[in-house]
Amino acid sequence: MKINRRTFIGTAAAASATLSAPAVLGAAHGRPKVVVVGGGAGGATVAHYLGKDSGGAIDVTLIEPTRRYYTCFFSNLYLGGFREFESLGHSYGTLASDFGVNVVHDWVTGVDREARTVSLASGGSMAYDKLVLSPGIDFIEGAVEGWSTASQNKMPHAYKAGSQSQLLKAQIEAMPEGGTYAMVAPPNPFRCPPGPYERISMVAHRLKQINPTAKILILDPKEKFSKMALFQEAWGDHYDGMIEWVGPDFGGGNVSVNPDTMEVSVDGEIEKVDVCNVIPAMKAGHICEQAGLTEGNWAPVEPTAMTSRLDPNVHVLGDSSQQGDMPKSGFSANSQAKVVANNIRGQLTGSQIFPARYSNTCWSLVGTNDGIKVGASYEAGEDKITKIDGFISQTGESDEVRKQTYEESEGWYDGISADMFG
């Protein structure tokens, strides 16, 4: 494997850095410590790259409550029957065994930024020199009238993957013939802008197989959404007459739900539904707020290395961060993670810090072998991450192009999984 060579390069770089820059942080108290909170697209990648590239010069701890991480990306494909549930699950074994990451399965319950420690749900605390927060999203309580996280077993969000995805799939498959699946779509900004609409496509695909007279209702507070023309084209092509999108002009933004009666009120009009997939408005993972690193709903960061605007020893990345133009996606979080890892390693060991470069691509599957994509490249602008250039699939593309796009997305899934978990 390549690790040997990498480790060698890393160690050599670290050693020479210590010689030439004796003032670096670690020199004072043994190996410098980095604590990474959240083992998702952002956090796992930071831990992987720090472990891989520092060759042991940095003490890397990854704190993540779940032993197996189920990716949100491709969880819609699971709903559509294109993926097995277990194919979405990944564990942290390789990060620990091959990259020297200290993986701790626990919740971080607080951050003392003065003392530079994090406290753990199981008791005890951990010191850091640099803290990385990539805790994903949480939902804003009260965002959808009548819904709270306590009702997520009746009206699942399935916007954090795992048992929620399984529940939603089971509910969809148990719908009565000709029944109704409703989605309450979230307002901007939210994780994975095409995610709700890819989900609609996948739910429609599944229902067309098992319950072709079923109806799909989208209640949306937004005037328009990501890849809208492409999705609408696909819905017409593949699921004609099945899907109704209700935008804000028709009450899509004035929705309340009753999980006990399975009723949805749209502009005061009550509708009984069989499945209600509520995706509420989102904010940064709770821990960001607890750490006092948020302004409004998100954690503001500067664009060159995702450093918190409120604390130079903390980097916040992924969905929780407010950075500028990048969408909240797994691809973005993974891209940001490499910039963060390079920067932290430079600060702690004196290795070279390269200028930030960011990019994103979001694929969506809209039918069998029918993939679409949108993407962009970004740079660190004056005060935010700024878009440079972008592309998007076109309506009316050939079947061959769409199939190739889908195959690329499968390649990407394997690629990002390896890039996160080693």
Partner 1 sequence: MTGKKRQTGKSIRSVFLASAVLMFGAPALGAGDIERGEALYGKCIGCHQVGEGAVNRIGPQLNGIFDRPAGTVEGYRYSNGMKRASADGLVWTREKLDAFIEDPRILVSRTRMSFRGMKDEQDRTDLLAYLQQYSDNPSDIPEATPRVVGADHDLDPAVLAIVGDPAYGEYLSGECAGCHQDSGANDGIPAITNWPVEDFVIALHAYKSGIREHPVMEMMAKRLTDDEIAALAAYYKDLE
* C-alpha to C-alpha distance for 31 and 60, rounded to whole angstroms: 10
Among 87, 304, 359, 386, binds partner 1 (CB under 8 A): 359
Instruction: Please list every residue from 72 through 101 that binds ligand FAD, using CB under 6 A.
Output: 72-73, 75-76
Compare residues 263 and 410 and give the one whose CB is closer to ligand HEC: 410
Stretch that binds ligand FAD, among 201-209, 212-220, 315-323, 370-378 (CB under 6 A): 315-323
4-38 burial string, b = 16+ CB within 10 Å, else e? Answer: eeebeebeebbeebeeeeeebbbeeeebbbbbbbb
Encoded one letter per residue, x for contact with ligand FAD by CB under 6 A and - for no contact, window 362-381 reads xx------------------
CB 326 within 8 A of CB 187: no
By CB under 8 A, is residue 342 in contact with partner 1? yes
By CB under 8 A, is residue 21 in contact with partner 1? no
Compare residues 242 and 366 and give the one whose CB is closer to partner 1: 366
Among 357, 368, 383, 395, binds partner 1 (CB under 8 A): 357
Cis link prior to 189 (omega < 30° from 0)?
Answer: yes
Report how far Cα 266 is from the mean position of its chain's Cα atoms: 29
DSSP-derived 3-state class of residue 47: helix
Among 171, 211, 361, 393, binds ligand HEC (CB under 6 A): 361
* C-alpha to C-alpha distance for 22 and 14, rounded to whole angstroms: 11
DSSP-derived 3-state class of residue 140: coil
Q: Cite the DSSP H helix spans in 81-119.
A: 93-99
CB of 42 to partner 1, least distance (A): 12
- Its sign, for the CA torsion 14, 18, 24, 27, is positive
By CB under 8 A, is residue 407 in contact with partner 1? yes
∠ Cα 376 421 413 (to 5°): 45
* C-alpha to C-alpha distance for 377 and 354, rounded to whole angstroms: 17
Among 98, 106, 302, 408, binds ligand HEC (CB under 6 A): 408
Per partner kind, with CB cut-offs from 5 to 8 A, the member of partner 1, ligand FAD, ligand HEC, none near residue 171 is none
By CB under 8 A, is residue 258 in contact with partner 1? no
What residue has token string 């009666």? Answer: 261
Instruction: Please list every residue from 79 through 118 that binds ligand HEC, using CB under 6 A.
Output: none
Q: What is the DSSP string of 369-390?
A: TEEEEEEEEEEE-SSSEEEEEE
By CB under 6 A, is residue 61 in contact with ligand FAD? no
Compare residues 178 and 415 and give the one whose CB is closer to partner 1: 415
Which amino acid, one-letter code, is at 191? R
CB 222 within 8 A of CB 188: yes
What residue has token string 């994509």? Answer: 373
* C-alpha to C-alpha distance for 152 and 147, rounded to whole angstroms: 8
DSSP-derived 3-state class of residue 178: coil
Number of residues that bind ligand HEC (CB under 6 A): 3
Helix (H) or strand (E) holding 36: strand 33-37
Per partner kind, with CB cut-offs from 5 to 8 A, the member of partner 1, ligand FAD, ligand HEC, none near residue 285 is ligand FAD
CB of 300 to partner 1, least distance (A): 24
* CA-based max dimension of the chain: 72
CB of 44 to ligand HEC, least distance (A): 18
Compare residues 163 and 359 and give the one whose CB is closer to partner 1: 359
CB of 313 to partner 1, least distance (A): 23
372 C-beta neighbours (distance < 10 Å), count: 27
CB 223 within 8 A of CB 371: no
Residue with the closest Cβ to ligand FAD? Answer: 40
Chain residues that interact with ligand FAD, rule: CB under 6 A: 37-43, 63-66, 69, 72-73, 75-76, 107-108, 134-136, 159, 191-192, 195, 199, 285, 287, 318-320, 328-331, 333, 362-363
Chain residues that interact with ligand HEC, rule: CB under 6 A: 361, 408, 412
Chain residues that interact with partner 1, rule: CB under 8 A: 2, 9, 13, 49, 331, 334-335, 338, 342, 352, 354, 357, 359, 361, 373, 375-377, 388-391, 393, 407-412, 414-416, 418-419
